[in-house]
Amino acid sequence: MKFSCCFICVFTVLINKVCLEVTIVAVTGGSVILPCSSAKHSHELQDINVHWRHSGSTIVYDITKGKDLIAKQDQRFKNRAETFPDEYVRGNFSIRLINLTDADAGKYICYITHSDEWEIVQLIINGTKSTVQEDQGTDTGAGSVRTSLFWVYTVLPVLVTVFNHISLSL
């Protein structure tokens, strides 16, 4: 019984820290919205601190105490990254990147400090606007979103099965 309680605690902590990775495909010269939102429903502007990073440490955008702070923003993202301040109180800290380049590809991390939440977005740059328009007849500069549900469909069922097996054998 003691082991079962410990397992439940560990399982709960792991589920709380699950972070789904979002993959977005966009084109050179286009624009894209990188999603980031908090599970908390109400936010006080003075408590909001959000940090967007590219490739681990490059500063894309910072929101400090509910205000945009771009003084330390990497030069590559100056005048190319924007947020939606009216959405902060609802927990939406997504950013829009415009005039995408091949160098924009890679992992972006959005870390929401007041709630210890984070999101990982993998940006793939695939072709150019003109190439995509010729191939598909439309502009897909806004990108398409595909959420990796690896945790939901693979890891969580395994953990639940193990938990059930342990509980039944006790």
pLDDT attached to residue 40? 77
In this structure, are 126 and 99 located in the same domain? yes
| Maximum CA extent, the chain | 64
| Res. 41 pLDDT band, cuts 50 70 90 | low
The band of 48, judged by pLDDT with boundaries at 50, 70 and 90, is confident
Check residue 164 and give its pLDDT. Answer: 55
Compute the average pLDDT of residues 151-170. Answer: 52
Locate tokens 């902590």: which residue?
13
Residue 9 sits in the same domain as residue 38 = no
φ/ψ of residue 145, rounded to 5: -105, 135
The whole-chain average pLDDT of the chain stands at 76
What is the extent of the structural domain holding 2?
A: 1-20+149-170
8 and 92 share one domain: no
Same domain, 77 and 157: no
Whether residue 52 is found in the same domain as residue 128: yes
The structure tokens listed for 48 are 């909001």
Q: Say which CATH number the domain at 31 has.
A: 2.60.40.10
In the chain, the number of structural domains is 2
pLDDT in tens, 22-37: 999 999 999 999 999 9
* 0.85 exceeded by pTM: no
Mark whether 72 and 128 lie in a shared domain: yes
Q: What confidence score (pLDDT) does residue 170 get?
A: 65
- Does 125 share its domain with 143? yes
Residue 130 and residue 65 share a domain: yes
| Residue 6 confidence class, pLDDT cut points 50, 70, 90 | very low
Least confident of 46-55, 65-74, 148-157: 148-157
Q: Looking at residue 153, what is its pLDDT?
A: 42
What is the pLDDT averaged over residues 56-62?
Answer: 94
Reduced DSSP (H G I as helix, E B as strand, rest coil) percent helix, strand, coil of the chain, to 5: 35, 35, 30
